[in-house]
Structure 1
Amino acid sequence: MKKIGLLIIGMLIIVAFCGKKGDDSLEKRGEQKKQTFLEKTKENYSEHIKIYNRILNIDKGLLYYFEDAGMEREFRKIDADDIEVNIGVDQALIDKLKSIRDSKEKKSELDKKAIAMIPALETMLPIVNEMKTYYVQKGYKVDNFVKAQEYHTRLLAVTEKFKQVERPYKELFDKKSKEIKKEIAKEFDKKKEHITYNRFLFIENGEAFLDEIHKQGLDASDFTRGNVNKFKPLRDKIEKSLEKLERSSKNEKQAKKEGYNSTDDFIIFNQKANRFRDIVNKFIVRIEKKDKASHSSVSDSFFAQTEEGTPENVLSEFNEVVEEHNKLLNMKKNK
């Protein structure tokens, strides 16, 4: 299988909120200035969370299409009934980016990099729409894949242009995301909200593990070549932070102090966190044993997400953890 691309790093949505304005701890002018800057930064970041996730959906759709049709110039004539064109570009996303471009507000670096994606997305949209119609109506049975080849060629070309402008946006978003999450975690630490703070630390350690997978360029097709010595210290941090989190999560008084109903609120998160820890360990064992992924997982990312111990599976389990983390943050926010 031709390697289509590196592992897609998942939808890491962190709900951003802080203490109320006017808290005693913010009375000093320097602290107020810092808080105002942080609020503005988080507001801009929150705007880009939805955009970032939409971009990841486009990546996912492109990945699935090219797994079926191939990345070569010549369209791979497999059973076209299996090809599903589900590439998440639409006019709403383009309009959102244009609204940022046309706004009179001062543009952040994230704004500028998001705006740079507009031309490629505008080119991609009509191609994707035509392809959807073509495959739904089974046009390939009428023209013997003539249009399929034409669409494939056009999509390849625009995907290359899209990746050139998408990469800087995603890299900057990931950097800002880490910075903001660290600041938010510091606030919970300052307020002595130990359970929430420890959960942030666990998430941070999980992200570091995924970053290393990304850095080594691993996916189901070749992950057993990974450098296990780089992963083991990161795994140890995950285990230690999980132990610390589970201890703090048993404190009923602390849970209510932090705005939760009871320690029962943490049951699902802790189950998913333990599941993620176990999959991380399985990933490492498979590298050590050179236990390669199944043919199905190598051929199709969908299967790779469910085969235990593949990079895609590690990511999938981590996204489950993050989703539950966000639910808990929303629970606090809505009280």
Structure 2
Amino acid sequence: MRIGYFLSCEEYTPAQLIEQARLAQDAGFQGLWISDHYHPWNDEQGQSPFVWSIIGALSQVVRIPVTTAVTCPIMRIHPAVIAQAAATSAALHDGRFVLGVGTGEALNEHILGDRWPFAEERLEMLEEAVVVLRQLWRGEYVTHHGRHYTVDQARIYTLPAEPPRVYVSAFGPKAIDVAARIGDGYISTSPDADLVAEFRRRAGAKPVQGGFKGCWAPTEDEGVEIAHRLWANSGVPGELSQVLPSPKHFEQAAQLVTPEMTRKAVACGPDPAGHAEQLKKYEAAGFDEVYVANMGPNYREFIELYRREFL
């Protein structure tokens, strides 16, 4: 199983993200995930740079694959524009760029005042959006009149040697069906062996990527405090993560998550054992690649821990 590093745009400045990417490559991480947000999950996280600017900058400092985890190409940015952004990114990264896509969260996608569609409608929109992406990546003029999107005589001129691969995020049976049909790979943040097996049953031997977060700190208690203060929203259950519209709503919902819940869910502190346990869960579930992120300011120590213990 390959191990990569997860760049969290919600928490770090552009300069910090570039520094982490360089440190991760030097430490031996084999790829990068990068989140694509308009808002952070809460005000305490405090950042959210434009992901396509960061991806361009990354092309000048790393030579390992970069995957968006994940971009939502259905509302905030039209898929015709995402197609151009992804094509340029793949050209800059010499084909090492992967477009990870999903149906998104209202947190980021509602900002233009559009109605937030139900999950099944978002899946339908995602499927059509990927059709638009792939039509445009052929380098021909495209006119498309679909149920959700219109493209009028558009052509992308700057293209990579091969079209970007599209990996699809999915967390349930209906989404797995879509991911298997339209995706070149599968993305998840849950080590669910059943979903991985179902994806492989439907899609064959396509790559499967997963990811999780940890928190390096001098002690476990300090790690729990940092992780809970910054990322208690990770413990918000069910579909709330898809439907809550603003950071303040996530802050309200995260009040239901206790520090002990965070302690049980996140590998905190300097001990590598918790990280090893998480890695084994993803390996046992059948993931080909897993991407790990640090919560909080101690990302240099986190990266060094992985260099020493796992890479």
Bin of the TM-score, shorter chain as denominator length: under 0.3
More strand by share: 2
Higher helix share: 1
